[in-house]
């Protein structure tokens, strides 16, 4: 917290008044990303074509991932500093598991897919954030295309 205050150019007391705990600052930092991620998952799950919905989630999450490596790191972490993300993570993975089941039933998603395969794609995609900003979206979309091809039945 002291390092955050230093980088923000404020005193520790100012930071602690606004964000009394690490959890508060993590929640504030990732509020918009959590909201965006949840909307991506909900939109994908709402698509009447489960494969199209599944592909849409992978594409859009890959772009989101490329834009903010810190979010995916926090979202997939299990440390106590980011426990507030655990409920979001569990809820979204449950929804995505249901979507994947529908896509399997439709014959579009490979039968040996498990939700941890998608988590692996998220973790692998974290490297996208190291690219120059102008290249990230194109690389993220290419990465998503390759992942989707790997998941196709």
Q: What is the CATH number of the domain that holds 132?
A: 1.10.357.10
Among residues 91, 87, 115, 88, the alpha carbon closest in space to that of 101 is found at 115
The whole-number average pLDDT for the span 9-17 is 89
Tens of pLDDT, residues 47-106: 999 999 999 999 999 998 887 766 766 666 655 555 667 778 889 999 999 999 999 999
* Residue 31: predicted pLDDT: 80
pTM of the predicted protein model: 0.81
Six token digits for residue 51? 């494969």
Q: How far apart are the first and last CA of the chain?
A: 47
- Grouping H, G, I as helix, E, B as strand and the rest as coil, residue 67 is helix
pLDDT-derived band at 6 (thresholds 50, 70, 90) equals confident
Give residue for tokens 């990732």.
30
d(CA 83, CA 34): 13
Q: Give the tokens for residue 100.
A: 């994947």
Residue 18 domain flag: no
> How many Å separate Cα 30 from the centre of its chain?
11
Share of the chain above pLDDT 70, in %: 90
| C-alpha span between 137 and 65 (Å, rounded) | 10
Structural domain contains residue 104:
yes
Quick check: 36 pLDDT over 70?
A: yes
pLDDT at 1: 78
Closest CA to 13 of 27, 2, 26, 25: 2
Give the total number of structural domains in the chain: 1
Residue 144 inside a domain? The answer is: yes
The chain-wide mean pLDDT, for the chain, equals: 88
- Does some domain include residue 15? no
Residue 90 lies in a domain: yes
DSSP H or E run through 138: helix 133-151
How far is C-alpha 103 from the chain's CA centre?
Answer: 20
In a domain, 127, yes or no: yes
Residue span of the structural domain in which 61 resides: 23-151
> Residue 118: inside a domain, yes or no?
yes
10-25 mean pLDDT: 85
On whether residue 13 sits in a domain, the answer given is: no
């Amino acid at each position: 917290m002291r390092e955050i205050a230093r980088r923000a150019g404020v005193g520790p007391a100012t930071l602690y008044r606004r964000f009394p705990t690490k959890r508060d600052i993590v929640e504030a930092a990732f509020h918009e990303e959590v909201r965006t991620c949840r909307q991506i998952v909900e939109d994908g799950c709402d698509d009447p074509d489960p494969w199209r919905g599944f592909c849409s989630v992978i594409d859009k999450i890959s772009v989101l991932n490329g834009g903010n490596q810190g979010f995916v790191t926090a979202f997939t972490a299990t440390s106590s500093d980011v426990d507030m993300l655990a409920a979001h993570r569990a809820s979204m993975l449950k929804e995505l598991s249901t979507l994947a089941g529908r896509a399997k039933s439709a014959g579009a998603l490979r039968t040996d897919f498990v939700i941890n395969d998608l988590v692996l794609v998220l973790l692998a995609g974290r490297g996208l954030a190291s690219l120059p900003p102008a290249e990230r979206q194109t690389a993220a979309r290419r990465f998503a295309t390759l992942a989707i091809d790997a998941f196709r039945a």
